[in-house]
Amino acid sequence: MGDFISINPATGRELSRRPALDAAAVDAALDRAEQALPRWQEAGFHGRAEVLEAAARLLEADAKRLAALMSSEMGKPFAQGVAEAEKCAWACRFYAEHAERFLADDPHESDGSRAFVRYEPVGMLLAVMPWNFPFWQVFRMVAPALMAGNVVLVKHAASVPQCAEAIATLLRRAGAPRGVYEDLAIDHDAVERVIADPRVGALSLTGSDGAGRAVAATAGKHLKRCILELGGSDPAIVMPSADLDKAIPTILKGRTQNNGQSCIATKRVIVHAAIAEAFERRFIAAMGALKVGDPMDESVDIGPLATESIRDGLAKQVRDTVERGATCVLGGKPLPGPGFFYAPTVLKDIPDGSPAADDELFGPVASLFVVDDLDAAIAVANGTRFGLGAAAWTRDDDEITAFIDRLRAGNVFVNGLVKSDPRLPFGGIKDSGYGRELGRAGIRGLCVTKTVWVD
């Protein structure tokens, strides 16, 4: 077992180290969670809501401090970190307010005197979380899980140990009893042992499709339910009737938010030939005007990539795509100096089978595709193994209907930015995973569905 090492991606300097838990410490965490479970369920919706409401207040009060932590540990631009902390508070309040209604007994017709569906907590859940939204990814799963009456074990990403500890501390300050939220600093090899523990009833993972396959295989071996939110290669289709004054800055934000490191980032921009020249000119100019630098500088648009290996992997994907025949019209290389910075990049003439066409590019790299009609646009959008999000820009009602009906993705947004929202279910299809987070479906997915029939 190695240490969890925090490295500032803007400088490449080590910030802190945290040793991984040994087997005895993991067992102790599981014991604490098991002991806390009945008391947490007895607290009821009102008692659990008090903790979530307190967590929301702390998230808002500490938003700037937490944002600075995100900036220093994984390179998130400071203003985006503030917004992330505030979004976590929103999720806490949303479920504190709505969980009891979402999980109320659901009556059904039957041949008995009455029948209903009841939603009961699974018990102990394991969450395997990524580094790119180190607070939001945790809270969007933990807020509904805790309100449903579950206790949660969280294995956070090894590169954000300070964020992981900050979340655990915040929930303790909010009044979560010991054992209700356990921060597991464990490596990947130890995850299988936790999944196998009979006290763990289900798990949730956000990460790459490779990580999803590994965790799903282990969960299947032990007959454990899992929710997988995996990678994406999200398209944004731009048709001739689109409002380019709105579409271009929104697509730009979708591609470069969080330094381009988002599963639902707009990775492939599919533009109708009738407007391709105008769109390309304006989009390249907008990408080229972005300021890259210290994520704590609020005038900066793009900070560093989270790790050296992510930057180097992205550089290889771009290089391989260009070697296969693509044209790089902006950027296309790491930036000199300390830190893990990569230049805002635009590729076009993307060949089939290249990384930009087939894989997920995690960084500020936009891939442009030109098509002749709606059918071709949908074919390109759907022509990927991923299916997380998709966006379409048009003011034509028939085209809107076609995109809603025919785009193959778990989330389809028309004339707007693909995003997660506590009020709406979120998740993917195909290699982007299965199961849903958020909304009513999200909290019910963290429960056992019990059918009750009475004569």
Question: Helix axis angle, 23-42 relative to 188-196, nearest 10°?
Answer: 50
| Most distant CA atoms of the chain, gap in Å | 75
Kindly report the CATH number assigned to the domain that includes residue 300.
Answer: 3.40.309.10
Question: Across the strands, what pairs with 64?
Answer: none
Query: Rounded to 5 degrees, what are φ and ψ at 59?
Result: -60, -45
**201 and 300 inside one domain:** no
Domain that includes residue 345, residue range: 234-414
Residues 214 and 242 in one domain: no
Length of the chain: 455
* Packing angle, helices 161-173 and 44-61, rounded to 10: 130
DSSP string, 316-360: HHHHHHHHTT-EEEE--SBPSSSS--B--EEEESPPTTSHHHHS-
Say what the pLDDT of residue 188 is: 83
Q: State the pLDDT at residue 336.
A: 95
End-to-end CA distance of the chain: 56
Residue at 423 is within a domain: no
Instruction: Please tell me the predicted confidence (pLDDT) of residue 303.
Output: 98
Residues 348 and 399 in one domain: yes
Reading the block at residue 27, the tokens are 């067992």
Asked if the structure places residue 262 within a domain, the reply is: yes
Q: What is the DSSP string of 227-270?
A: EEE----EEEEE-TTS-HHHHHHHHHHHHHGGGG--TTSEEEEE
Same domain, 132 and 257: no
Instruction: Fill in the DSSP letter of residue 122.
Output: -
Determine if residue 407 is left, alpha or beta; phi over 0 gives left, psi from -120 to 50 gives alpha, anything else beta.
Answer: beta
Residue 274 and residue 202 share a domain: no
The CATH number of the domain holding residue 131 is 3.40.605.10
DSSP bridge partners of 1: none
Tell me which residues are annotated as active site. 229, 263
Per the structure, the count of domains in the chain is: 2
In a shared domain, residues 61 and 174? yes
Is 422 among the domain residues?
Answer: no
319 & 303 share domain: yes
Please tell me the predicted confidence (pLDDT) of residue 189: 84
Tell me the two tokens of residue 419: 């995003």
- For the chain, 455 residues long, give each residue's pLDDT as a single digit of tens: 578 999 999 999 999 999 999 999 999 999 999 999 999 999 999 999 999 999 999 999 999 999 999 999 999 999 999 999 999 999 999 999 999 999 999 999 999 999 999 999 999 999 999 999 999 999 999 999 999 999 999 999 999 999 999 999 999 999 999 999 999 999 888 999 999 999 999 999 999 999 999 999 999 999 999 999 999 999 999 999 999 999 999 999 999 999 999 999 999 999 999 999 999 999 999 999 999 999 999 999 999 999 999 999 999 999 999 999 999 999 999 999 999 999 999 999 999 999 999 999 999 999 999 999 999 999 999 999 999 999 999 999 999 999 999 999 999 999 999 999 999 999 999 999 999 999 999 999 999 999 999 99
Report the SS3 class of residue 394.
coil
The two beta strands, 200-206 and 345-348, are unpaired
Q: Are residues 265 and 172 in the same domain?
A: no
Determine the pLDDT at residue 1: 57
**CA dihedral sign of residues 375, 377, 383, 387:** negative
Residue 218 sits in the same domain as residue 118? yes
> How many other C-beta atoms are found inside a 10 Å radius of the C-beta of residue 107?
11
The CA distance from 276 to 407, in Å, is: 21
Contact (Cβ atoms closer than 8 angstroms) between residue 152 and residue 168: no
